[in-house]
């Protein structure tokens, strides 16, 4: 069965076409700067075939999707002869009111996504547009949403519920939902294949960041709360915040739009450093002597360590500490800075292995009480498996 997986960002689209159940990747594509009239980037790979174009006019998601489907079906990189060979399209969808895990994207599920737009405004809006555009181009394919919240439904209620009137939980569904389910779920899949019983903490550090406590393959706690504006600081977003600050900022004369902008676009690593939302530039600036950049790096590391410490105690021990996603897989410096703070719980880093590792690897020293690993994020594979299994 051919399954197309679609991972949409606010201005980017990533695709992978799988042949399931073998999980063979037939082709993949990446579009950057969707919405641009002259500066979009399009990349397409199928086996040895590679196409990389820049300076393109890709005004909307539909034209990006059409360009990718054209490559799939025509020319030297074609891997199928007709788009209707694609039986399912799986989306790394964020959340839908009342629907967790993997669901066919019926009108009801799509309405649930629209209902909870305020919890993930950028993400849900983009997905609703992309799903609509894709359905117009491949109407026969079944649309499947793998919601990022699904993996966290196993978190016990005492770690999901907030200190708020209980009726808000019952009436409005106010609770910790958690995100990055496909990524933490993939880490669990890798560990599950090795052993049945274990305690792990998975750190997904990318543009968005979260820490997840995993026991025997199930999520038992995570740093994200209900909305995406929670947990660790992110590239541009605030992370955990004292709600009293919202009223305070209003009193200072800021409008709700300005406050939202600070929480979601001009906050996080960018807000503190004043340099960039990309950690690479923040670390470069810190090495160059920028105090604010160094401060941002310290806030980032401290936040990760706080969650690891709390989850370590809650789990009652730790077998694996896992780093994944763009920063987790590539930044030896952040991994080192986090692990150095974990010496009291017996974490010992192998400095050479850490410096060398990009992608898969064990980076702890042989005597370390906790095995520290880097596991590359493969959210698309995790979604392809779940979309394939959907009855
Ligand atoms: P997203 O959450 O947007 O899918 P990714 O998982 O692709 O993000 O991670 C992207 C982030 O990874 C970039 O913003 C960049 O900060 C970070 N990154 C990638 N390589 C490095 C590196 N070598 N050092 C530090 N940060 C890196």
Look at residue 12 in the predicted model and tell me its pLDDT. Answer: 83
Given a cut of 90, whether residue 35 has pLDDT beyond it is no
58 near 64, Cβ under 8 Å? yes
Task: Report which ligand 1 atom has the smallest distance to the Cα of 331.
Answer: 24
Q: What is the mean pLDDT of residues 292-314?
A: 98
Given a cut of 80, whether residue 391 has pLDDT beyond it is yes
Q: How many CB atoms lie within 10 A of CB 144?
A: 24
Given a cut of 80, whether residue 9 has pLDDT beyond it is no
Does any ligand 1 atom lie closer than 6 A to the CB of residue 236? Answer: no
Task: Report which ligand 1 atom has the smallest distance to the Cα of 334.
Answer: 25
Report d(CA 180, CA 83) in Å as an integer.
29
Query: Furthest-apart CA pair in the chain: how many Å?
Result: 61
Report d(CA 89, CA 370) in Å as an integer.
39
Look at residue 204 in the predicted model and tell me its pLDDT. Answer: 97
- CA of 330 relative to ligand 1 center, distance in Å: 8
Does any ligand 1 atom lie closer than 6 A to the CB of residue 325? Answer: yes
Task: Report which ligand 1 atom has the smallest distance to the Cα of 325.
Answer: 6
| pLDDT per position as a tens digit, 226-245 | 999 999 999 999 999 999 99
Report d(CA 310, CA 301) in Å as an integer.
14
Query: How do beta strands 2-8 and 361-362 pair?
Result: unpaired
% of the chain beyond a pLDDT of 70? 100
| Distance, first Cα to last Cα, the chain | 13
20 near 383, Cβ under 8 Å? no
Look at residue 36 in the predicted model and tell me its pLDDT. Answer: 85
Look at residue 169 in the predicted model and tell me its pLDDT. Answer: 97
- CA of 183 relative to ligand 1 center, distance in Å: 14
Given a cut of 90, whether residue 390 has pLDDT beyond it is yes
Look at residue 214 in the predicted model and tell me its pLDDT. Answer: 98
**Which residue's alpha carbon is at the smallest distance from atom 27 of ligand 1?**
327
**Which residue's alpha carbon is at the smallest distance from atom 19 of ligand 1?**
326
Extended strands (E) in 162-215:
199-205, 209-215
104 near 144, Cβ under 8 Å? yes
Given a cut of 80, whether residue 10 has pLDDT beyond it is no
Query: How do beta strands 102-104 and 142-146 pair?
Result: antiparallel
Q: What is the mean pLDDT of residues 53-70?
A: 93
Given a cut of 90, whether residue 48 has pLDDT beyond it is yes
**Which residue's alpha carbon is at the smallest distance from atom 3 of ligand 1?**
207
- CA of 268 relative to ligand 1 center, distance in Å: 14
% of the chain beyond a pLDDT of 90? 92
Does any ligand 1 atom lie closer than 6 A to the CB of residue 278? Answer: yes
Q: Full-prediction pTM beyond 0.75?
A: yes
Task: Report which ligand 1 atom has the smallest distance to the Cα of 205.
Answer: 6
Mutate to test the pocket of ligand 1, among 126, 275, 326, 332 (most ligand atoms within 8 A of CB): 326
Given a cut of 80, whether residue 11 has pLDDT beyond it is no
| pLDDT per position as a tens digit, 179-207 | 999 999 999 999 999 999 999 999 999 98
Question: Counting every residue, how long is the chain?
Answer: 391
Query: How do beta strands 86-91 and 2-8 pair?
Result: parallel
Look at residue 139 in the predicted model and tell me its pLDDT. Answer: 92
CA–CA distances in Å: residue 286 to residues 27, 278, 345, 355, 371: 39, 13, 28, 19, 29
- CA of 60 relative to ligand 1 center, distance in Å: 25
Q: Strands across the sheet with 24-32, in order?
A: 49-58, 36-46, 24-32, 12-19, 2-8, 86-91, 142-146, 102-104
Position 297 confidence tier, pLDDT thresholds 50, 70, 90? very high
Does any ligand 1 atom lie closer than 6 A to the CB of residue 326? Answer: yes
Position 33 confidence tier, pLDDT thresholds 50, 70, 90? confident
Given a cut of 80, whether residue 259 has pLDDT beyond it is yes
- Cis previous bond, 21, omega within 30: yes
Mutate to test the pocket of ligand 1, among 14, 30, 206 (most ligand atoms within 8 A of CB): 206
Look at residue 122 in the predicted model and tell me its pLDDT. Answer: 81
Look at residue 168 in the predicted model and tell me its pLDDT. Answer: 98
Given a cut of 80, whether residue 364 has pLDDT beyond it is yes
Query: What tokens were used for 379?
Result: 């959210």
Given a cut of 90, whether residue 121 has pLDDT beyond it is no
**Which residue's alpha carbon is at the smallest distance from atom 12 of ligand 1?**
326
Q: Torsion angle of alpha carbons 185, 79, 145, 213, nearest 10°?
A: 10
228 near 209, Cβ under 8 Å? no
Report d(CA 339, CA 333) in Å as an integer.
10
């Amino acid at each position: 069965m051919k399954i197309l997986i679609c991972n949409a960002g606010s201005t980017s689209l990533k695709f992978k076409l799988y042949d399931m159940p073998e999980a063979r990747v037939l082709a993949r594509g990446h579009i950057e700067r969707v919405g641009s009239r002259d500066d979009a980037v399009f990349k397409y790979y199928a086996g040895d075939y590679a196409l990389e174009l820049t300076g393109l006019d890709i005004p909307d998601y539909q034209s990006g999707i059409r360009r990718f489907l054209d490559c799939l079906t025509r020319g030297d990189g074609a891997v199928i002869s007709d788009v209707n060979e694609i039986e399912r399209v799986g989306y790394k969808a964020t959340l839908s009111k009342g629907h967790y895990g993997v669901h066919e994207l019926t009108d009801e599920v799509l309405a649930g996504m629209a209902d909870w737009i305020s919890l993930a405004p950028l993400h849900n809006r983009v997905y609703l547009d992309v799903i609509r555009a894709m359905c117009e181009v491949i109407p026969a394919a079944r649309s499947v949403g793998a919601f990022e919240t699904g993996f966290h439904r196993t978190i016990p209620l005492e770690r999901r519920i907030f200190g708020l009137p209980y009726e808000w939980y019952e009436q409005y569904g106010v609770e910790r939902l958690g995100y990055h389910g496909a990524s933490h779920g993939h880490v669990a899949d890798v560990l599950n294949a090795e052993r049945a019983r274990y305690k792990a903490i998975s750190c997904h550090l990318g543009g968005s960041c979260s820490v997840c406590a995993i026991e025997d393959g199930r999520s038992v706690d995570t740093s994200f709360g209900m909305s995406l504006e929670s947990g660790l600081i992110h590239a541009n977003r605030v992370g955990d915040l004292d709600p009293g600050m919202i009223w305070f900022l209003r009193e200072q004369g800021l409008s709700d739009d300005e406050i939202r902008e600070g929480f979601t676009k001009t906050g996080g690593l960018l807000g503190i450093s004043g340099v960039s939302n990309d950690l690479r530039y923040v670390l470069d600036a810190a090495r160059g002597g920028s105090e604010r950049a160094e401060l941002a790096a310290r806030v980032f590391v401290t936040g990760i360590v706080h969650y690891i410490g709390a989850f370590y105690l809650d789990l009652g021990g730790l077998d694996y500490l896992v780093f994944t996603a763009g920063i987790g897989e590539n930044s030896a410096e952040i991994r080192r800075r986090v692990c150095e703070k974990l010496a009291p719980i017996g974490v010992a880093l192998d400095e050479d292995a850490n410096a060398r590792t990009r992608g898969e690897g064990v980076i702890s020293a042989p005597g370390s009480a906790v095995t520290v690993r880097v596991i590359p994020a493969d959210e698309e594979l995790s979604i392809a498996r779940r979309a394939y299994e959907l009855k």
